[in-house]
């Protein structure tokens, strides 16, 4: 099954996708959009283009595991994505994924504007990899 992941941000939203065998996650793009309705439509368009069969949306819980205002906002957007795509949408704990993405980019010496342009897609890959590992271990 092809699974698409979404790392929602205020200005930039990262998109990643798995292969059909759910073994690998690949960064696809970063959407620059502030308007929620336009963002949801762009995500739905990517889901269709990538032939996604499921969408995983990062849920930015607080470090103590509680749900804050940003996680509530992401949950609302995830519901809109589900409505726009008619695909199953899973919320996935994304605590520390952006930090992990920055760490990964440090290893590749990605800096400046290029780093800013890819960090959200890398975070989406990390979200998807975590979800795929969970699915694999659950079987």
CATH topology of domain 3-138: Nucleotidyltransferase; domain 5 (3.30.420)
- The string of pLDDT tens digits covering residues 26-43 is 999 999 999 999 999 999
Check residue 61 and give its pLDDT: 77
Q: What is the mean pLDDT of the chain?
A: 85
Spatial distance between the Cα atoms of 79 and 125, rounded to a whole number of angstroms: 21
Q: Is the pLDDT of residue 99 over 70?
A: no
Which tokens go with 107? Answer: 């290893």
Whole-number pLDDT of residue 90: 96
Q: What are the E-state strand segments in 60-132?
A: 89-93
* pTM of the complete model beyond 0.85: no
Q: Would you list the domain boundaries of the chain?
A: 3-138
| Sheet strand arrangement including 12-18 | 25-32, 12-18, 3-7, 54-59, 89-93
């Amino acid at each position: 099954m092809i699974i698409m992941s979404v790392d929602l941000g205020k200005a930039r939203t990262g998109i990643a996708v798995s292969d059909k065998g759910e073994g690998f996650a690949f960064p696809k793009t970063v959407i620059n959009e502030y308007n929620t309705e336009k963002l949801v439509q762009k995500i739905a368009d990517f889901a269709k283009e990538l032939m996604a069969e499921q969408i995983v949306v990062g849920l930015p819980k607080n470090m103590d595991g509680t749900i804050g205002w940003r996680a509530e906002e992401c949950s609302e957007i995830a519901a809109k994505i589900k409505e726009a795509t008619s695909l199953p949408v899973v919320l996935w704990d994304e605590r520390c994924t952006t930090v992990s993405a920055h760490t990964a980019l440090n290893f590749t010496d990605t800096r400046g504007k290029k780093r800013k342009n890819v960090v959200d897609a890398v975070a989406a890959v990390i979200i998807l990899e975590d979800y795929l590992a969970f699915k694999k271990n659950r079987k």
